């Protein structure tokens, strides 16, 4: 059986076809321009494939409540042309197959929990740190949606005493995204992260803010594992620094078998950057089963 998967991002749309084993068999990338420019090649691609269902892991905010008039919409995004766009409806009309829908980061977490490093777990957090910061959360075996869906990249942080930067986020300033996403690194230091690999002070400060957020997630969500992905996390020196600061900030308050070894508790994404596409395959399978 073949399934379609769409990882809908603010810069590009990744379309792929795979099977029930999570194997990606074919893929294309479409630049994210306006819906009028972006959607036709996506629709054409999936129409040319004999897929049983489609899963969409989408940038947001999005409406995930099926009893809502705007279910399946990208809602209050600043992305030009995409505000209150019915992405599920547009694809459903053309393809007429079951469609699963969730956030891009929930999709990535679903991929990791189905085929990656979080298999057999019921509670986990996937955090992506790149152009922005987003988090996918699974609790008691289900993706967390709530009144909308987690926006954990916007939790507020305490600014470190030696940091005079006020934050990049236009809404909150000193939230995690405002202090630690790629644009914040570039604005604070004058260069993108890829050009700062030899500057340990950059990554020490970055790790401090990420660790501060992770401690909050640990205290509130009690995950069995935390997975860190996104472009910023390609800086591998971050992981030991983050674990060090998490240990310091936790101050031995919680004692669990998971926290005994932070090397296996706070880990990189494990699916070669395909976790979002693979999560979309799982969303497609879930949608097919639900409509059966």
Over residues 84-113, the pLDDT tens digits come to 999 999 999 999 999 999 999 999 999 999
What rounded mean pLDDT belongs to the chain? 96
Q: Is a pLDDT exceeding 90 seen at residue 148?
A: no
| Residue 240: predicted pLDDT | 98
Q: What pLDDT was estimated at residue 40? A: 98
Q: What is the pLDDT of residue 210?
A: 98
For the ranges 43-47, 86-90, 146-150, which has the lowest average pLDDT?
Answer: 146-150
By C-alpha distance, which of 8, 213, 5 is closest to 103?
8
Task: Select from 9, 136, 134 the least CA-distant residue to 79.
Answer: 9
Q: If DSSP codes are grouped into helix, strand and coil, which group holds residue 171?
A: coil
* pLDDT tens-digit series, residues 174-211: 999 999 999 999 999 999 999 999 999 999 999 999 99
Residue 232 in domain? yes
Reading the block at residue 110, the tokens are: 């679903």
Structure tokens belonging to residue 53:
């269902």
Contact in structure between 55 and 45 (CB atoms under 8 Å): no
Spatial CB neighbours of 71, under 8 Å, sequence gap ≥ 6: 63, 64, 65, 88
Give the pLDDT band (50/70/90) at residue 79. confident
Judgement on whether residues 15 and 70 belong to the same structural domain of the protein: yes
Residues 227 and 258 in one domain: yes
Q: What is the pLDDT of residue 194?
A: 94
Does the pTM surpass 0.85? The reply is yes
- Does one domain contain both 195 and 83? no
Q: Can you give the CATH number for the domain in which 55 is found?
A: 3.30.420.40
Average pLDDT over residues 233-254: 96
Q: What is the DSSP string of 27-77?
A: EEEEE---HHHHHHHHHHHHHTS--S-EEEEE-SSB---TTSTTTTEE-S-
CA atoms within 13 A on the CB side of 226: 28
Q: Does residue 254 sit in the same domain as residue 172?
A: yes
Does one domain contain both 251 and 154? yes
Segment 34-38 shows an average pLDDT of 97
229 and 277 in a common domain = no
At 63, list the tokens: 């409406």
39 shares a domain with 123? no
**Structure token digits, residue 215:** 């401690």
> Would residue 111 count as lying in a domain?
no
Q: What is the pLDDT of residue 280?
A: 98
Q: Give percent above pLDDT 70 in the chain.
A: 100
Q: Does position 68 have pLDDT exceeding 90, yes or no?
A: yes
Tell me: pLDDT of 257 over 80. yes
The tokens describing 97, both together, are 């197959």
- Is residue 292's pLDDT more than 80? no
Range of the domain at 53: 3-104+273-291
- Predicted local confidence at residue 266, as pLDDT: 98
Predicted confidence band of residue 78 (pLDDT cuts 50, 70, 90): confident
Beta-strand pair 12-18/3-8: antiparallel
pLDDT tens, residue by residue, 221-236: 999 999 999 999 999 8
For the chain, what is the domain count?
Answer: 2
Parallel, antiparallel or unpaired: strands 54-58 and 3-8: parallel
Residues 28 and 128 in one domain: no
| Range with the poorest average pLDDT among 3-7, 146-150, 279-283 | 146-150
Rounded-to-integer distance, Cα 227 and Cα 210, Å: 12
Name the nearest CA neighbour of 145 among 109, 98, 172: 109
Residue 180 lies in a domain: yes
**pLDDT over 90 at 10, yes or no:** no
Question: Of 291 and 17, which is predicted with more confidence?
Answer: 17
Task: Check whether residue 132 and residue 68 sit in a common domain.
Answer: no
């Amino acid at each position: 059986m073949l399934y379609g998967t769409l990882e809908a991002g603010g810069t590009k749309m990744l379309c792929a076809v795979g099977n029930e084993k999570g194997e990606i068999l074919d893929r294309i990338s479409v630049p994210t321009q306006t819906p009028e420019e972006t959607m036709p090649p996506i629709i054409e691609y999936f129409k040319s494939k004999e897929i049983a269902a489609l899963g969409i892991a989408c940038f947001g905010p999005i409406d995930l409540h099926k009893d809502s008039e705007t279910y399946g919409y990208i809602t209050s995004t600043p992305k030009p042309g995409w505000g209150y766009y019915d992405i599920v409806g547009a694809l459903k009309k053309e393809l007429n197959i079951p469609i699963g829908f969730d956030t891009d980061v929930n999709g990535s977490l679903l991929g990791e929990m189905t085929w990656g490093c979080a298999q057999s777990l019921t509670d986990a957090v996937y955090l992506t740190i790149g152009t922005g910061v987003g988090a996918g959360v699974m609790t008691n075996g289900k993706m967390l949606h709530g009144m909308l869906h987690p926006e954990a990249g916007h939790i507020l942080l305490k600014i470190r005493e030696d940091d005079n930067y006020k934050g990049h986020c236009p809404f909150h300033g000193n939230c995690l995204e405002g202090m630690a996403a790629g644009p914040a690194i570039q604005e604070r230091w004058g260069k993108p992260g890829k050009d700062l690999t030899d500057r340990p002070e950059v990554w020490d400060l970055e790790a401090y803010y990420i660790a501060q957020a992770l401690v909050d997630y640990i205290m509130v969500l009690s995950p069995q594992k935390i997975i860190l992905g996104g472009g910023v996390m390609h800086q591998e020196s971050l992981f030991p620094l983050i674990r060090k600061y998490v240990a310091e900030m936790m101050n031995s308050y919680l004692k669990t078998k998971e926290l005994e070894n932070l090397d296996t508790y706070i880990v990189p994404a494990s699916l070669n950057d395909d976790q979002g596409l693979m999560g979309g395959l799982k969303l497609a399978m879930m949608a097919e089963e639900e409509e059966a």
